[in-house]
Amino acid sequence: MKRLLCLAVLMALALSLTVSPGLASQTQEEITILYTHDMHSAFLPRLDEEGNQVGGYARLKTLLDQQRKEHPNALVVDGGDFSMGTLFQTAYASSALELRALGRMGYDATTFGNHEFDYRASGLSSMLYAAKDSGDPLPAIVDANYLPPKEDEETWDALYSYGVQDYTILERGGMCYVIFGLTGLDSDACAPMSGMKLSDPVETAKKVVKEATEQCQNAYGQDPVVICLSHSGTVDGKGEDYELAKEVDGIDVIVSGHTHTTLNQPIEVNDTYIVSAGENGQNLGVLTLTRTQDGVELKDSQLIPVTEGIQEDPEMVQWLEQAKDQVEQEYLAQFGMEFDQVLVNNSYDFDSVDEVYATQHESTLGNLLADAYYWAGMKESSDPVDVALTASGVIRDTFPKGEITVAQVFNVASLGIGADGVPGYPLISVYLTGKDLKNTLEVDASVTPLMTAAQLFCSGVQYSFNTNRMIFDKVDEAVLVRPDGVTEPIVDDQLYHVVTGLYLGQMLGAVEDSSFGILSVTPRDAQGNPISTQQLEEHILLDEQGKEVKEWYAVASYLQSMGGEMAPMYGQTDGRKQVYSSWNPVSLLKHAGLPTYVAMIVAVMVILLVVLVVWLVRKSILRHSSKKLQP
């Protein structure tokens, strides 16, 4: 028995010596992943609907340091769209403040989102060079399937200079980690000016997981923990990242950005955990896993709100103040405005961005923006404006109660860049025929349920639509509303002067495709000549000094013109857009168009066909029965 016992001890010792040191460490240690996504340059706290401060990088830095102290081997990653959303983005190309901020907070890796291309590929390249030249600590950037065409040498050089790769391999606490980045189909569609080429996300992921896993096995003698930073999205528990997890084996965690989703608990699909923490740095995601022989198992998952009760990191506060001063000097000075300049005091509740997207409705927030564009058009154009338009897809924030500052206005209309190379989409001045103007309103009525970003908000027009009517024929009434309140019918072959944002103008050309050719909207010049999408920049609204009128500046100037208090008209909607649902035949047929009549003809034909079939069947049965009754 003593000999057998000694033999057993020796065998156990030998077996323990043959186990990979890394794997032994993995079975004993936890895996902690700290994550964010869709930060959108949210350096400073914002006010929530209750007026409380949320987010802010100085408080986020404190939370990250606390978590790293508790979990020394934690990874910190971001799922893309780290830029575009506040005034700090105006230094994106020149100073790369966003990447440098992530580096200062200790992020290990991030990926590109669609908004990293808002200033086009040239802006991205400038940002990467600026980040590298800063000498600051920077996160790794990974993106495996969204790359420039071969002939774009400038962008390739910038990616190479920074060190952008398909994936990165990290060793942390005896474990091997693979972190790779992906861009989704919808993300690509939301970056029409990127100039990049999208490879299939699923096939790319399969290739990367296989290649990187083999590298980890060769270098560390173990299978890696595979983390995908995916700017693809998860909606209502499904979406592109859900399908990615289902189709690709070997991904342990997907940090799912793009859709601004907040998941209080991970979605588990095909042994993959999908996590999302919401937008603008309002939460820090903390995912804790345990390594097993079969992969990883969930131990804990939480979202830590970034709130006022968290002490701000003093070094981060100082750096943010310096960044703020830089924005004032390099960007706002040319508009004669300051970062914290108060424009108006607001006493009213405006829709949140989520509410703007949620349902088809008239919105005081949308009304205010459209009215600001109308006001700017009337002020800067020699030809009176008939209609001004904006869309939910370009509204990025809302107005809180209390003092509204220049910075808050910029947050609301923060997207894009103009033909002048200056951040901020400009307004454009174009013309639509009456028929095309009606089609534009029909887009709001019919396309919005299919694509919520298409919901329109208008100034200078009043219209109504019945959601129960035939698609692409839902609008039953539309008239112009002049500044004195007098209404006029919209004449199909007459030209109307329209002011809107450059991005929305570019999207008008896509109406025909999204409506299957039934609707079309063609922007025109004052003489009625069609304007191509590429020519829209020639019709940018300019001020007296020849400068582009930026969307955000039009809103800021309009608020400033109110004399210190928000105009009472924005305390409630005024009926310019009326949305209702009715099965009343009169309402269903009121001012009906071709789609309704075609549907009616088809319905009548189907009914007649059914009647004919029933009659033939009945006739056949009677004939068959009569034959049986014959002697």
Please determine, for residue 34, whether its predicted confidence score (pLDDT) is greater than 50.
Answer: yes
> May I ask the CATH class of domain 338-580?
alpha beta
More confident call, 507 vs 600: 507
Q: For residue 9, give the DSSP letter.
A: H
| 8 A C-beta contact, residue 332 and residue 422 | no
Please determine, for residue 124, whether its predicted confidence score (pLDDT) is greater than 50.
Answer: yes
Query: What's the pLDDT score for residue 622?
Result: 76
Mean pLDDT over 479-485 rounds to 96
Query: What's the pLDDT score for residue 458?
Result: 97
Mean pLDDT over 410-417 rounds to 93
Summarised one tens digit per residue, pLDDT across range 421-469 is: 999 999 999 999 999 999 999 999 998 998 888 899 999 999 999 999 9
Query: What's the pLDDT score for residue 25?
Result: 38
| 8 A C-beta contact, residue 575 and residue 353 | no
Average pLDDT, the chain: 91
Query: What's the pLDDT score for residue 510?
Result: 67
Query: What's the pLDDT score for residue 626?
Result: 67
How big is the CA angle at 389 (ends 190 and 48), to the nearest 5 degrees? 65
Region of residue 250 (left: phi > 0; alpha: psi -120 to 50; beta: else): left
More confident call, 567 vs 534: 567
Number of alpha helices (DSSP H) and beta strands (DSSP E) in the chain: 20, 26
Phi first, then psi: give them for residue 629, nearest 5 degrees: -80, -15
Please determine, for residue 3, whether its predicted confidence score (pLDDT) is greater than 60.
Answer: no
Give 3-state DSSP helix, strand, coil % of the chain, rounded to 5: 40, 25, 35
Of the candidate ranges 125-129, 452-456, 517-521, the one whose mean pLDDT is the lowest: 517-521
Query: What's the pLDDT score for residue 28?
Result: 46
Question: Where along the chain do its domains lie?
Answer: 20-305, 338-580
Query: What's the pLDDT score for residue 18?
Result: 37
Summarised one tens digit per residue, pLDDT across range 227-263 is: 999 999 999 989 999 999 999 999 999 999 999 999 9
CATH no. for 20-305: 3.60.21.10
Sheet of strand 475-481, all strands in order from the earlier edge strand to the far edge:
487-489, 475-481, 461-466, 577-580
Of the candidate ranges 432-441, 490-499, 618-627, the one whose mean pLDDT is the lowest: 618-627
Summarised one tens digit per residue, pLDDT across range 286-307 is: 999 999 888 899 999 999 999 9
Q: HEC string of 39-51?
A: CCCCCCCEECCCC
Query: What's the pLDDT score for residue 460?
Result: 98
**161 CB-near residues (< 8 Å, 6+ apart):** 128, 129, 132
Sheet of strand 75-78, all strands in order from the earlier edge strand to the far edge:
140-141, 109-110, 75-78, 30-36, 283-292, 295-305
Query: What's the pLDDT score for residue 536?
Result: 94
Of the candidate ranges 19-23, 162-166, 467-471, 526-530, the one whose mean pLDDT is the lowest: 19-23
Phi first, then psi: give them for residue 419, nearest 5 degrees: -65, -20
Summarised one tens digit per residue, pLDDT across range 380-408 is: 998 999 999 999 999 999 999 999 999 99
Query: DSSP assignment of 281-326, as one string?
Result: TSEEEEEEEEEETTEEEEEEEEEEE-BTTSPPPHHHHHHHHHHHHH
Query: DSSP assignment of 433-455, as one string?
Result: EHHHHHHHHHIIIIITTT-GGG-
Give the rounded percent of residues in the chain with a pLDDT score beyond 90.
79
Mean pLDDT over 619-626 rounds to 75
Question: In angstroms, rounded to a whole number, what is the distance separating the alpha carbons of residues 45 and 37?
Answer: 16
Phi first, then psi: give them for residue 617, nearest 5 degrees: -65, -45
375: enclosing H helix or E strand: helix 364-380
Query: Is residue 7 very low, low, confident or very high in pLDDT (cuts 50, 70, 90)?
Result: very low
Mean pLDDT over 41-59 rounds to 91
Please determine, for residue 12, whether its predicted confidence score (pLDDT) is greater than 50.
Answer: no
